[in-house]
Amino acid sequence: MQYILVDTPDREQFYPFTLTRSLADCRVGIFTFKQRWEQYLNEDAGILTAKYLQVLYAEDNSLQAEEALVFINVTCIPSDELVRQINLLKEGEKLVSESGKWIATFTKERALSKILLAEFPPIDFPNVQIIKDAIDLLRLHTHLLKRDFAWIQANRKSIAIDASNRVINPAQVFIEEGATVLCSNLNASEGPIYIGKEAVVMEGVSIRGPFALGQKGVVKMNASIYGTTSIGPNCLAGGEIKNSIMMGYSNKGHEGYMGDSIVGYWCNFGAGTCNSNIKNTAGIIQMWNESKQIWDSVGQKMGMLVGDYSRFAIHSSINTGSYIGVSANIFGNGLLPKNLPNFTWGVLPGYQYDKVIEDINNWKKLKGFSISEPEKLVLKHLHHLSA
């Protein structure tokens, strides 16, 4: 069978992260949505997303095939039983949750409306977990990180933990080949600690699990990291971090606090930058919902959602429950506004497209990468919408 992961019905609920990539490529826990599904499917999976984003996945030719494909709602959390039910589908059948939420369809159709409708009456699957929105990523973070850790531990062995470290519950510490962890405090009594290939944990770091550090990620000296936190591949982490996700290639390399937050790809936080995650009154936090264009209540604790390519000047003070769009270059005095849209310059609109591309490419070069033509097309589309 060929499998296609679909984010289109719900992708707007995951702004700002799905403005620049499919939800399948977003990371929560150790893996992206796509990586997690492929583990359960034992097959590579294609991606079907918004038309302007599909250019990022043009090398995937599976959608050009004429045979029936299995289309799967990527917001569903995979399980052995769910995959078994998906594989039992006959052509034209679809699987739905008890509440009627679409899960999967086996069909030759390529139009999204026909994929969702299918031909035959739906088959109910009662026990599916579905991630609802970006805030839900934090709610399910611990669950998914622990599941990911268990999968890794069942499939390969950790290298030895260096004797220079102080370790609590070493059975729940996994270090991949090529990683370096020296003179650090690793406390896995409340959740696992995972260190990816070629990652570096410098001297004096204190980590309390659940925690994951992706491939070639670096945690700088004397950082304090609390669970549940995931630092994605090629990220740089320092200072104090708690209950947060950095999806990949982003930097928080200096002192300052990050809490109850999600940061996309290729972001940077200047030295001394901090975010608030609770109001002085301990009251309910209102956060901008970009898809609904309203302020939503998100509970008593919430830091920030930061879209891809956004950057903060030194000593930035980020407000409680802040929504930061794509490619914002942020600087300003005092507490920053809670809603900073795509292509903000300072705290106002006006980041010009050519400058956006130049600056992103400069940042990518620091890690040995360059901006691709498909990425430029996606950013040009978003920039046109913001004009």
Contact 192, 210 (CB under 8 A): yes
Residue the block writes with tokens 């796509």: 34
Residue the block writes with tokens 């507490």: 335
Give the type of residue at 188.
A
**Tens-digit pLDDT profile for residues 50-59:** 999 999 998 7
Cβ-proximal residues to 293 (8 Å cutoff; 6+ apart), any chain? none
Roughly how many angstroms between the first and final C-alpha of the chain, as a whole number?
43
Cβ-proximal residues to 136 (8 Å cutoff; 6+ apart), any chain? none
Q: CA 60, CA 24: separation in Å to the nearest integer?
A: 14
Tally of CA atoms within 13 A in the half-sphere of 378 that contains its CB: 25
Cβ-proximal residues to 12 (8 Å cutoff; 6+ apart), any chain? 18, 290, 291
Does this model's pTM top 0.75?
A: yes
pLDDT at residue 119 greater than cutoff 90: no
Q: CA 58, CA 2: separation in Å to the nearest integer?
A: 16
Strand 311-312, strand 200-201: pairing: unpaired
Q: C-alpha distances in angstroms, 235 versus 3, 116, 144?
A: 30, 37, 20
Which pairs from 231-238 meet CB under 8 Å and 24+ separation?
232/27, 232/265, 233/196, 234/367, 237/213
- pLDDT for 353: 97
Give the type of residue at 283.
G
In which band, very low, low, confident or very high, does the pLDDT at 120 lie, cut at 50, 70 and 90?
Answer: confident
Look at 125-129, 355-359, 376-380 and tell me which has the smallest mean pLDDT.
125-129
**Tens-digit pLDDT profile for residues 232-286:** 999 999 999 999 999 999 999 999 999 999 999 999 999 999 999 999 999 999 9
- pLDDT for 249: 98
What is the rounded average pLDDT of the residues 152-181?
Answer: 98
Cβ burial 243-263 (10 Å sphere, 16+ → b, else e):
bbbbbbbbbbbbebbbbbbbb
Q: What is the 8-class DSSP label of residue 84?
A: H
Tokens of 308: 């891809």
**Tens-digit pLDDT profile for residues 168-217:** 999 999 999 999 999 999 999 999 999 999 999 999 999 999 999 999 99
Cβ-proximal residues to 374 (8 Å cutoff; 6+ apart), any chain? 55, 56, 58
Tally of CA atoms within 13 A in the half-sphere of 214 that contains its CB: 22
Which pairs from 189-196 meet CB under 8 Å and 24+ separation?
190/227, 191/142, 191/145, 191/146, 191/227, 191/228, 192/145, 192/146, 192/149, 192/153, 194/30, 194/145, 194/148, 194/149, 194/152, 196/30, 196/233
Give the type of residue at 46.
G
Give the type of residue at 298.
V
**Tens-digit pLDDT profile for residues 67-92:** 999 999 999 999 999 999 999 999 98
Please tell me the chain's helix, strand, coil percentages from 3-state DSSP, rounded to the nearest 5: 25, 30, 50
- Sign, Cα dihedral of 341, 344, 347, 350: negative
